């Protein structure tokens, strides 16, 4: 830089390259939210997650660093639906006014996303249901799109100056999800939103057939087509959104009620169902005890497939796309291998 | 019965293996007054595995190394317990055991806060579940415990002397410290493997309760062992059956059965040993009546189930709202009362609740709700707009025409716009052609243009060669013709009985 430059700069300060605005400090409960926040925020945000993907998201031990991070946050993102009960405690404990409930900096990623397991019919068992529906919404790629949209809205509330950037990045993410889920050709022809609506109301296959578009389907849905209608067993009800999207059936969970050891009859019912329906795969999250799954595997010959449901280097999952890829691949492997057995 | 045996045989066998060694060890533990030593050693073992995992070993891929860590920690714990047993104890041994438990638990929590599986490791101690026990593990454990039992049998003189009369042992020149250490090592070994099978609660009960009952009634090692084993076996059988036939979690059922058996044993002993048995019996009966009254009385405090549907809709959780809607659906009078609350929820409720109400309006064909449905055509959510439109298509009437047209003009999703236009045409309003033609003219999505063209053909006889799969430019001629047709017919069209629009004048 020569003297003239310096003079020019001191005379016209506006000519200086504007110092990059400090990135928004974002804290998320789960790493999946961190990934979505990075997708939407890019360089404009600096994201940290409070939990480890190898932890049960329902139970995280509070540590002082969690409070410190929450104290400095501009935006706090959680799934909601009572998934992370510890999240609220961290936020309240941090005393950070920007991220308290109802403030612009608090983002509930599940807002407006229809949940499963809310009672549709009148049953005798009032009270024996999750009051907000099943909170494990993120293994459905369509929900990931909506979660990203909620996150983008939060960023725009707190940082309206960069609204267009957030919108653009959101759109790009949503298109990539659509392409990954339905295949690029179909998305181009039909549009992601229409496909999402048809997939959500369960009529995608029929609709595609109706319009003569069936052979244009690609992406995860095409690859996972062999899984359609296949029964699998899981430990906890954390895979039901994935199952719903990809047409798998989960006739029974190993866990009878979350956190309560199953009774013998339930255990036997699981064994019997596995045998009767020819279940080939027992899908379990990384953080649950293996005892039950191993017992069932030995008893029935089904495979235990352990998958992460969150993102992080420790579980070998870098992005949301890898997360879904991994579950699809592992299931195809297990079901394919199982088919080869017989 | 066959399925009962099939299903509970292994857990019951597991219980028997536990009974065998734990009743014996329980007699030791009780005479040493170190009741909670099993909890403390189990916790120290857990601390060991957490430490091993902190050093990078993984429980799934290197189970034996992690087990090795946990076992070494157990040995250290055993050393600590044998060294802190004082002859003239200034501090009760139980205090040290309690402290060890608390500190080991706290350290486990501390270590695991830097461990991914943190919370799980802490709760793991409770997690052992007798229900998942398999035959190979039972065989392995039996062999293991038989070995431990043999050691104890061979050196029974030393073991019992140091447990019951440490001073005498010392006088005979037996090293109390050494035999104490050996006792705690074998004990720790047994307890940690039992806990991994059955969980801490069940192991504690097997250790203490049968031994306590035996001590209540008989003296001498052999009689106590026999009574303890009998009680352990009987209660395991009762617990397993209860668990199976009442469909309850096995571990907790067996523990509670043990609790009841102790209560019963205590009462029997009280009556049998009392000088005036009739009075004692009367007292027990009286006590039972008082207990029954108190417990029965508390049932009167059961919270009443007032399910006011309207209140639940207004203030309930989403699940309660869904249930309330399901209930309202079955009863027209209830629905009439719930309508205002449902109307509010259509604007402010959760997506699922709103969809459910739209569903309900559609199913009940409730026209009174239409004014609440119309604004939803402008909702921010695709799903809600689509569902509201679907509802109007099946319930809607003439008064829905204007709101639908207004919504179609603002709609940015091409498919929903086309469907809105189609709804207008179904309701006999030719203004529905306008959004359809607009879509054919300038829609960006090929499939939506195709839908629009199909709707148009279904509702009007136009002889125009339009091809939705072609680019807009290649359809320019067809589109111009279409515009022309619309310009000429806009004011003249009306719907006939088959849903097709014709020129009213030429019909």
Q: How confident is the model at residue B45 (pLDDT cuts 50, 70, 90)?
A: confident
Distance of CA B222 to the CA centre of its chain: 45
Q: If you average pLDDT over every residue of chain A, what do you get?
A: 85
Please judge whether A55 and B3 are an interchain contact, meaning their C-beta atoms are less than 8 angstroms apart. no
What's the pLDDT score for residue A87?
84
Please judge whether A131 and B447 are an interchain contact, meaning their C-beta atoms are less than 8 angstroms apart. no
> Which residues, listed in sequence order, are joined to residue A48 by a DSSP beta bridge?
A27
Least confident range from A40-49, B25-34, B469-478: namely B469-478
Please judge whether A298 and B243 are an interchain contact, meaning their C-beta atoms are less than 8 angstroms apart. no
Give B244's contacts in chain A (Cβ within 8 Å): 263-265
What backbone phi and psi angles, to 5 degrees, belong to B172?
-80, 0
Please judge whether A314 and B116 are an interchain contact, meaning their C-beta atoms are less than 8 angstroms apart. yes
Of A63, A261, A298, the CB nearest to B249: A261
Considering only residues A312 and A153, tell me which one the structure prediction assigns the higher pLDDT: A153
Q: How far apart are CA A315 and CA A53, in angstroms?
A: 7
Q: What ipTM score was computed for the predicted complex, to two decimals?
A: 0.82
The secondary structure of chain A in percent helix, strand, coil, rounded to multiples of 5, reads 55, 10, 35
Helices then strands, each counted (H, E), chain A: 14, 7
What's the pLDDT score for residue A275?
92
Min distance A198 CA to chain B CA atoms (Å): 10
Question: Which of B157, B163, B162 is CA-nearest to residue B175?
Answer: B162
Please judge whether A260 and B320 are an interchain contact, meaning their C-beta atoms are less than 8 angstroms apart. no
Give B124's contacts in chain A (Cβ within 8 Å): 289
Q: Using DSSP, state whether A19 is helix, strand or coil.
A: coil
Give A267's contacts in chain B (Cβ within 8 Å): 7, 131-132
What's the pLDDT score for residue A217?
93
What's the pLDDT score for residue A340?
43
What's the pLDDT score for residue B506?
55
Considering only residues A263 and A189, tell me which one the structure prediction assigns the higher pLDDT: A189
Q: Is the pLDDT of residue B21 over 50?
A: yes
What's the pLDDT score for residue A15?
42
Give B132's contacts in chain A (Cβ within 8 Å): 267, 291-292, 294-295
Of A55, A288, A294, the CB nearest to B118: A55
Q: Using DSSP, state whether A146 is helix, strand or coil.
A: helix
Give A150's contacts in chain B (Cβ within 8 Å): none
Nearest CA in chain B to A190: B447
Decide: residue B292, CB within 10 A, 0-12 exposed, 13-18 middle, 19+ buried. exposed
Q: Is the pLDDT of residue A169 over 90?
A: yes
Question: Which of A192, A195, A233 is CA-nearest to residue A214?
Answer: A195
User: What pTM does this model have?
Assistant: 0.80
Q: How confident is the model at residue B126 (pLDDT cuts 50, 70, 90)?
A: low
Q: How confident is the model at residue B320 (pLDDT cuts 50, 70, 90)?
A: confident
Please judge whether B386 and A262 are an interchain contact, meaning their C-beta atoms are less than 8 angstroms apart. no
Q: Is the pLDDT of residue A198 over 60?
A: yes
Q: How are beta strands A303-307 and A281-285 bridged, if at all? A: parallel
Per-residue pLDDT, averaged over B130-158, amounts to 89
CA distances from B253 to A64, B131, B212, B238 (A): 39, 12, 19, 9
Considering only residues A226 and A127, tell me which one the structure prediction assigns the higher pLDDT: A226
Considering only residues A10 and B456, tell me which one the structure prediction assigns the higher pLDDT: B456
Of B116, B124, B134, the CB nearest to A52: B116
Q: Is the pLDDT of residue A341 over 60?
A: no
> pLDDT digit string (tens) for A102-155?
899 999 999 999 998 887 766 655 445 578 888 999 999 999 999 999 999 999
What is the percentage of chain B residues whose pLDDT exceeds 70? 94
The secondary structure of chain B in percent helix, strand, coil, rounded to multiples of 5, reads 80, 0, 20
Q: Is the pLDDT of residue A1 over 80?
A: no
Nearest CA in chain A to B451: A211
Q: How confident is the model at residue B143 (pLDDT cuts 50, 70, 90)?
A: very high
Helix B37-54 and helix B118-127: axis angle, to 10°? Answer: 150
Dihedral of the alpha carbons of A86, A87, A93, A98, in degrees to the nearest 10: -170
A281: part of which helix (H) or strand (E)?
A: strand A281-285
Q: How far apart are CA B308 and CA B316, in angstroms?
A: 10
What's the pLDDT score for residue A13?
46
> pLDDT digit string (tens) for B425-481?
988 888 999 999 999 888 888 889 889 999 988 898 888 888 777 777 788 888 888
Q: Which of A110, A135, A261 to mutate against chain B (most B CBs within 10 Å)?
A: A261
Per-residue pLDDT, averaged over A181-189, amounts to 93
Q: How confident is the model at residue A5 (pLDDT cuts 50, 70, 90)?
A: low
Q: How far apart are CA B225 and CA B215, in angstroms?
A: 9
Per-residue pLDDT, averaged over B119-135, amounts to 69
Q: What is the DSSP string of B164-216?
A: H-HHHHHHTT--HHHHHHHHHHHHHHHHHHHHHHH-HHHHHHHHHHHHHHHHH
Q: Is the pLDDT of residue B108 over 60?
A: yes
Min distance B204 CA to chain A CA atoms (Å): 18
Question: Which of A117, A57, A53, A81 is CA-nearest to residue A253?
Answer: A117
Min distance B448 CA to chain A CA atoms (Å): 7
> pLDDT digit string (tens) for A238-281?
889 999 999 999 998 888 776 677 788 888 889 999 999 999 99
Q: How confident is the model at residue A42 (pLDDT cuts 50, 70, 90)?
A: very high
Nearest CA in chain B to A128: B319
Q: If you average pLDDT over every residue of chain B, what do you get?
A: 87
> pLDDT digit string (tens) for B170-203?
888 888 888 989 999 999 889 888 888 888 888 9
Query: What is the torsional sign of CA B61, B63, B68, B73?
Result: positive
Please judge whether A261 and B129 are an interchain contact, meaning their C-beta atoms are less than 8 angstroms apart. yes
Please judge whether A132 and B249 are an interchain contact, meaning their C-beta atoms are less than 8 angstroms apart. no
Of B116, B117, B244, the CB nearest to A264: B244
What's the pLDDT score for residue B166?
82
What's the pLDDT score for residue B495?
82
Helix intervals (H) in B274-413: 277-299, 309-315, 318-329, 332-348, 351-364, 370-373, 382-395, 401-410
Please judge whether A193 and B413 are an interchain contact, meaning their C-beta atoms are less than 8 angstroms apart. yes
Min distance B266 CA to chain A CA atoms (Å): 30
Q: Is the pLDDT of residue B74 over 50?
A: yes
What is the percentage of chain B residues whose pLDDT exceeds 90? 35
């Amino acid at each position: 830089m020569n003297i003239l430059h310096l003079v020019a700069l001191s005379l016209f300060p506006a000519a200086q390259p504007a110092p990059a605005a400090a990135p928004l400090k974002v804290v998320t409960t789960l790493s999946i939210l961190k990934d979505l926040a990075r997708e939407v925020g890019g360089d404009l945000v600096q994201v940290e997650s409070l939990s480890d993907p190898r932890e049960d998201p329902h139970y995280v031990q509070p540590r002082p660093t969690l409070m410190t991070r929450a104290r400095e946050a501009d935006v706090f993102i959680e799934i909601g639906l009572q998934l992370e009960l510890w999240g609220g405690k961290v936020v309240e404990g941090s005393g950070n006014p920007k991220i308290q409930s109802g403030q612009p900096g608090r983002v509930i990623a599940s807002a407006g996303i229809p949940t499963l397991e809310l009672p549709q019919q009148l049953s005798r068992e009032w009270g024996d249901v999750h009051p907000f529906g099943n909170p494990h919404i993120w293994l459905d790629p369509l929900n990931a799109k909506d979660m990203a949209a909620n996150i983008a809205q939060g960023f725009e509330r707190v940082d309206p100056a960069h609204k267009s950037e957030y919108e653009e990045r959101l759109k790009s993410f949503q298109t990539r999800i659509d392409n990954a889920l339905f295949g690029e050709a179909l998305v181009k022809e039909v549009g992601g939103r229409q496909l999402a609506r048809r997939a959500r109301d369960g009529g995608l296959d029929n609709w595609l057939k109706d319009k003569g578009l069936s052979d244009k389907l690609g992406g995860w849905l095409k690859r996972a087509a062999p899984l359609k209608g296949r029964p699998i067993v899981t430990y906890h009800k954390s895979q039901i959104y994935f199952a719903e999207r990809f047409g798998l059936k989960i006739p029974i969970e190993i866990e009878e009620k979350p956190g309560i050891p199953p009774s013998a009859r339930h255990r036997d019912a699981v064994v019997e169902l596995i045998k009767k329906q020819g279940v080939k795969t027992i899908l379990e999250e990384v953080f649950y005890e293996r005892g039950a799954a191993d017992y069932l595997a030995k008893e029935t010959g089904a495979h235990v497939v352990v998958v992460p449901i969150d993102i992080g280097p420790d579980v070998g999952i870098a992005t949301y796309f890898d997360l879904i890829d991994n579950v699809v691949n592992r299931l195809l492997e297990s079901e394919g291998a199982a088919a080869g057995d017989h | 019965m066959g399925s009962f045996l099939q299903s509970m045989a292994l857990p019951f066998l597991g219980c028997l293996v536990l009974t065998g060694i734990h009743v014996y060890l329980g007699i030791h533990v009780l005479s040493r007054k170190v009741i909670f030593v099993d909890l403390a050693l189990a916790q120290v073992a857990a601390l060991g595995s957490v430490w091993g995992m902190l050093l990078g070993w993984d429980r799934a891929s290197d189970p034996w190394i992690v087990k090795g860590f946990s076992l070494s920690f157990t040995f250290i714990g055993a050393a600590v317990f044998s060294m802190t047993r004082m002859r003239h104890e200034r501090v009760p041994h139980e205090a040290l055991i309690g402290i060890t438990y608390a500190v080991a638990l706290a350290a486990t929590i501390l270590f695991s806060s830097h461990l991914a599986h943190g919370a799980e490791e802490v709760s793991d101690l409770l997690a052992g579940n007798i229900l998942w026990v398999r035959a190979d593990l039972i065989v392995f454990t039996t062999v293991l415990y038989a070995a431990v039992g043999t050691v104890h049998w061979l050196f029974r003189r030393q073991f019992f002397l140091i447990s019951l009369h440490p001073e005498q042992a010392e006088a005979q020149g037996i090293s109390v410290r050494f035999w104490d250490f050996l006792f705690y090592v074998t004990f720790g070994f047994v307890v940690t493997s039992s806990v991994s099978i059955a969980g801490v609660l069940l192991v504690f009960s097997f250790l203490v309760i049968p031994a306590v009952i035996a001590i209540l009634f008989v003296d001498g090692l052999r009689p106590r062992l026999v009574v303890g084993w009998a009680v352990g076996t009987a209660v395991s059988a009762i617990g397993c059956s209860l668990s199976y036939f009442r469909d309850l979690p096995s571990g907790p059922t067996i523990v509670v059965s043990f609790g009841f058996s102790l209560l019963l044993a205590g009462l029997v002993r009280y009556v049998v040993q009392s000088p005036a048995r009739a009075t004692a019996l009367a007292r027990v009966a009286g006590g039972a009546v008082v207990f029954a009254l108190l417990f029965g009385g508390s049932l009167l405090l059961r919270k009443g189930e007032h399910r006011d549907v309207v209140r639940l809709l207004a203030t309930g959780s989403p699940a309660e709202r869904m249930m309330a809607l399901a209930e309202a659906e079955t009863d027209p009078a209830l629905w009439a009362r719930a309508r205002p609350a449902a109307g509010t929820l259509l604007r402010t409720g959760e997506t699922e609740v709103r969809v459910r109400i739209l569903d309900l309006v559609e199913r009940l064909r409730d026209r009174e709700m239409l004014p609440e449905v119309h604004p939803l055509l402008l909702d921010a959510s695709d799903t809600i707009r689509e569902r509201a439109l679907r509802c109007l298509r099946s319930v809607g009437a003439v008064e829905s025409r204007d709101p639908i047209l207004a919504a179609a003009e603002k709609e940015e999703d091409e498919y929903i716009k086309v469907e809105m236009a189609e709804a207008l045409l179904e309701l006999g309003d030719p203004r529905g052609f306008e959004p359809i033609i607009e879509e054919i003219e300038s829609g960006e999505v090929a499939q939506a243009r195709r839908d629009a063209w199909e709707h148009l053909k279904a509702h009007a006889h136009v002889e125009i060669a339009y091809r939705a799969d072609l680019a807009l430019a290649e359809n320019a001629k067809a589109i111009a013709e279409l515009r022309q047709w619309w310009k000429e017919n806009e004011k003249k069209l009306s719907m006939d009985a088959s849903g097709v629009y014709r020129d009213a004048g030429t019909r």
